[in-house]
């Protein structure tokens, strides 16, 4: 950073990744999250890539080594057990090796792989890694477009709030209310509250419902068709769908680089279907903001969250989103709050219900920058830099006074510093056309 202690922070960010390195994978935060998380790892690889490319590729390859035979890539890989975390491998009981959870997370991998390839100093190593990863990425996307879109509608469904990566977002309040914990819900003891103040974490009522869904999926032996048919929580998440559409576009670029023509045609079909379906299903008529859709009730979810701006990151999105984002950012000292400050659901310190998340800012700002909304992209970058410089590599931050919250020495916050904040102008602008098909 220019004269704001950036050198020191770069070193500290690298030290966070090194300290959280468990040999081939990086834990999000020692203690609180002691395993490999799917989207964390992909974004963390972008940080590693700034100072150790071999280690960056290894991060993604380790994640994909846990891919299921049907193409699904689990949201947590339990390389070794750690009793300090709940729910661990014995609760999920998926019977996989390496042990893993039985649900997925937003598919940022293909986009991260494309960015790593384009930024690579060692091109040969990068191309070799992309060649190995490409069939696995394709299989994961194919899984999303079939197992999670069995009728070929153009949107993918999500069966658990944890799959969205935005666990207790107010967008899940209404759909989660329809989940009734059974009287025989296995008793459990939360471990997250030994690390973080309960006021900054999901509530007990939410946790009971999360565990109800896990218990159901376990009973269904993680059969994808049964999970979609039976889950009482079934939503179309704007973040997952925007991230998948963007990742499909990036996968198409990778297919071109590798001369994979058949794959490229297949991906084009997915992109066309999503482009035709998503805006109609998700965009709020009054503002263009994408909101979740509750398939069990057959109606949009009212709650507005920052995930809605990922429409731009997906290469879609209404021009009105710029005005909405400026107003939203204008309500807080630090942008972008995960929920608008004037909203009754806003809770400035509780996880995904108000705080600023560096990693969400990174993706949302990319969408702004690619649409030429540089004032907004700069505001998010500046604010993210100020928050981290002021409070360290925390998990999330209070948007009103900047207090650092949740876990400390957080890997993806360090990676966001390395891959976004600590970059000269020329390296952080938009990619070449994010949509190779237009």
Residue (37 or 78) nearer to ligand GLC, CB = 37
The only residue of 40, 260, 275, 422 in contact with ligand GLC, by rule CB under 6 A: 40
59 is catalytic: no
Residue 148 Cα to chain centre, angstroms: 17
Cβ-in-10-Å burial (0-12, 13-18, 19+) of 364 comes to buried
Residue closer to ligand GLC by CB (options 368, 412) is 412
Q: Is 416 helix (H, G, I), strand (E, B) or coil?
A: helix
Supply the minimum distance, in Å, between the C-beta of residue 378 and ligand GLC.
25
Burial code of 309-319, b = ≥16 C-beta within 10 A, e = fewer? bbbbbbbbbbe
Q: Identify which of 215, 399, 389 has the alpha carbon closest to the alpha carbon of residue 306.
A: 399
Q: What is the DSSP letter of 77?
A: E
Contact map string, positions 167 to 186, toward ligand GLC, x by CB under 6 A: x-------------------
39 contacts ligand GLC (rule: CB under 6 A): yes
Give me the residue label for tokens 């380790």: 62
CB of 213 to ligand GLC, least distance (A): 14
**Total residues binding ligand GLC (CB under 6 A):** 7
Contact pick of 47, 88, 102, 165 for ligand GLC (by CB under 6 A): 165
210 binds ligand GLC (CB under 6 A): no
Say how far apart CA 74 and CA 224 lie, in whole Å: 13
Q: How far is the CB of 56 from ligand GLC (least distance, A)?
A: 18
With 0-12 / 13-18 / 19 or more C-beta atoms within 10 angstroms meaning exposed / middle / buried, residue 7 is: exposed
Among 14, 28, 338, 365, binds ligand GLC (CB under 6 A): 28
Interaction of residue 78 with ligand GLC, rule CB under 6 A: no
Rounded CA separation 260/274 (Å)? 21
Query: Least separation, in Å, of the C-beta of 206 and ligand GLC?
Result: 12
CB of 35 to ligand GLC, least distance (A): 9
Token pair belonging to 188: 């459990």
Q: Is position 167 annotated as part of the catalytic site?
A: yes
Find the part of the chain contacting ligand GLC (CB under 6 A) among 32-40, 107-115, 397-405, 416-424.
32-40
Instruction: Encode burial over 78-96: b for 16+ CB neighbours within 10 A, e otherwise.
Output: bbeeeeebebbbeebebeb
Q: Is 37 in the site for ligand GLC (CB under 6 A)?
A: yes
Residue 163 in contact with ligand GLC, rule: CB under 6 A: no
Q: What are phi and psi of 404, to 5 degrees?
A: -75, 140
Using CA atoms, how far apart are residues 411 and 30, in angstroms rounded to an integer? 9
Spatial separation of the C-alpha atoms in residues 416 and 263, rounded to whole Å: 31
What is the CA 123 to chain-centroid distance, rounded?
A: 27
Residue among 21, 26, 30, 33 that touches ligand GLC (CB under 6 A): 33
> Binding marks (x or -) toward ligand GLC, 89..128, rule CB under 6 A?
----------------------------------------
Q: Among the options 167, 223, 268, 318, which is catalytic?
A: 167
The residue among 87 and 340 lying less far from ligand GLC, judged by its C-beta, is 87
Provide the minimum distance between the beta carbon of 351 and ligand GLC in the complex, in angstroms, as a whole number. 7
Q: Which stretch binds ligand GLC (CB under 6 A): 37-45, 86-94, 174-182, 236-244?
A: 37-45
Catalytic residue of the set 275, 395, 398, 422: 395
Q: How far is the CB of 41 from ligand GLC (least distance, A)?
A: 9
* Helix, strand, coil share (%) of the chain residues, nearest 5: 50, 5, 40
* Nearest CB to ligand GLC, comparing residues 201 and 348: 201
Give strand ranges (E) for 80-191: 99-100
Residues that bind ligand GLC (CB under 6 A): 28, 33, 37, 39-40, 165, 167
- The residues annotated as belonging to the active site are 167, 395
């Amino acid at each position: 950073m220019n004269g704001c202690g950036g050198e020191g922070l770069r070193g500290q960010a690298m030290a966070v990744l090194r300290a959280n390195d468990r040999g081939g994978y990086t834990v999000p935060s020692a203690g609180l999250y002691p395993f490999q998380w799917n989207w964390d790892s992909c974004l963390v690889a972008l940080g590693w890539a700034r100072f150790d490319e071999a280690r960056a590729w290894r991060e993604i390859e380790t994640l994909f080594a846990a891919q299921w035979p049907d193409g699904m890539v689990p949201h947590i890989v339990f390389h070794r057990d750690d009793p300090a975390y709940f729910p661990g491998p014995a609760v999920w009981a998926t019977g996989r090796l390496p042990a893993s959870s039985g649900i997925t997370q937003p598919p940022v991998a293909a986009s991260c792989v494309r960015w790593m390839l384009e930024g690579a100093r060692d091109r040969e190593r990068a191309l070799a890694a992309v060649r190995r990863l490409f069939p696995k990425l394709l299989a994961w996307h194919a899984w999303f477009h079939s197992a999670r879109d069995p009728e070929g509608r153009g949107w993918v469904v999500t069966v658990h709030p944890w799959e969205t990566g935005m666990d207790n977002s107010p967008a899940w309040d209404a759909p989660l209310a329809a989940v009734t914990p059974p009287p025989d819900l296995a008793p459990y003891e939360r471990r997250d509250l030994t690390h973080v103040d309960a006021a900054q974490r999901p509530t007990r009522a939410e946790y009971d419902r999360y565990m109800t869904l896990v218990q159901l999926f376990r009973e269904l032996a993680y059969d994808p068709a049964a999970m979609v048919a039976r889950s009482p929580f079934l939503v179309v998440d704007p973040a997952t769908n925007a991230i998948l559409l963007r990742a499909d576009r990036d996968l198409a670029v990778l297919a071109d680089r590798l001369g994979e023509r058949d794959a490229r045609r297949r991906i084009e079909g997915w992109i066309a279907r999503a482009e035709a379906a998503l805006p109609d299903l998700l965009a709020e008529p009054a503002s263009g903001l994408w909101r979740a859709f509750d398939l069990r009730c057959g109606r949009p979810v009212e709650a507005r969250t920052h995930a809605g701006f990922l429409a731009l990151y997906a290469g879609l999105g209404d021009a009105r989103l710029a005005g909405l984002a400026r107003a939203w950012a204008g309500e807080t000292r630090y942008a972008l709050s995960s929920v608008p400050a004037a909203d009754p659901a806003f809770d400035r310190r509780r996880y995904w219900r108000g705080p600023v998340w560096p990693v969400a800012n990174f993706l949302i700002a990319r969408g702004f920058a690619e649409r030429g909304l540089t004032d907004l992209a700069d505001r998010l970058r500046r604010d993210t830099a100020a928050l981290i410089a002021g409070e360290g590599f925390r998990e999330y931050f209070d948007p009103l006074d900047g207090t650092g919250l949740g876990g400390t020495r957080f890997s993806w916050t360090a990676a966001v510093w390395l891959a976004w904040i600590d970059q000269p102008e020329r390296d952080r602008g938009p990619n070449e056309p994010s949509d190779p098909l237009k």
